[in-house]
Structure 1
Amino acid sequence: MSLIWATRGRTWGFRFLFKGDFKDPLQEYEEAFAGTDSDQELCRRTGDTVALRFPDPDGRQDTAGRVIPHDFVISGPLTAGIDSVNDGRRLIWSRPDISGHFAEIWDAPKPPPPQ
C-alpha cells in the first residue's frame, strides 16, 4: 500500500505531503500524472495504481486566488472502490489523516515535512 499526496497551501507552493513508500516520490508521481497537467479533475487507473486529482473540497484558495488542487498516487488495497473522481474524493478525502491534516496545515506559513 502506498499513498503519495502533493498539494500546495495558502502561502507555500506545491509540495509532497505524503511520500508513500518512496524516499523521493517524484518519478512515481510524474509517471502517474504524465500528460494530465491541464486536467483539473482526474481519476486514472493503471494496473494497481490510481492517479487522482481534484480541487480542494472546501474551495480553499492560495494567496494568488487559485483553487488548491490535491494530487494523489494510490496503490495497493487503498485503490479498492476508486473508479471515479467522486469515489476517490469520498474515500480518500474523508480520511482524517488527509482532510484533518490539511485543515491544520494549509494556512501555515511553511509546509510541514513530508510523511
Structure 2
Amino acid sequence: TVGGIGLAGVIGGLIATNFGWQTNFIISIGIAFIAILLLKGTPEKVSQHSHRHPFDYKGMSIFAVMIGSFTLLLTQGFEQGWCSTLSFICLNIVISTTLIF
C-alpha cells in the first residue's frame, strides 16, 4: 500500500508526460477490470464481533467548520491580505476548532 501511494504519482506523471493525461484514466479502467476479475471468487469475510459505532455528529460538525475556515483563509487571505480582519477571524476559528477537535 505504501509503495503504491509513493509510486502512483511518479508513474502517473510519467504516463501523462509521455502519452497524455487521458491515458491515466484509460489505464485505470484496465486496472479496475483486472482487480474485479481477481476478486470475483473471493468470499466475503463477515466479522462476528461487528457492532455499529454511533456517528460522531459533533466531531464532524467541528471538523467541517475547521476545514471551511481553513479553506476560506487560504483562498481569501491572499486577496484581502493576510492581516485583514477576515484572515484573523478565520485563523482564530481554525486554531480553536483544531484544539476542540
TM-score by length of 2: 0.24
> Which of the pair has the greater relative contact order for Cα pairs under 8 Å at 6+ separation?
1
Higher-Rg structure is: 2
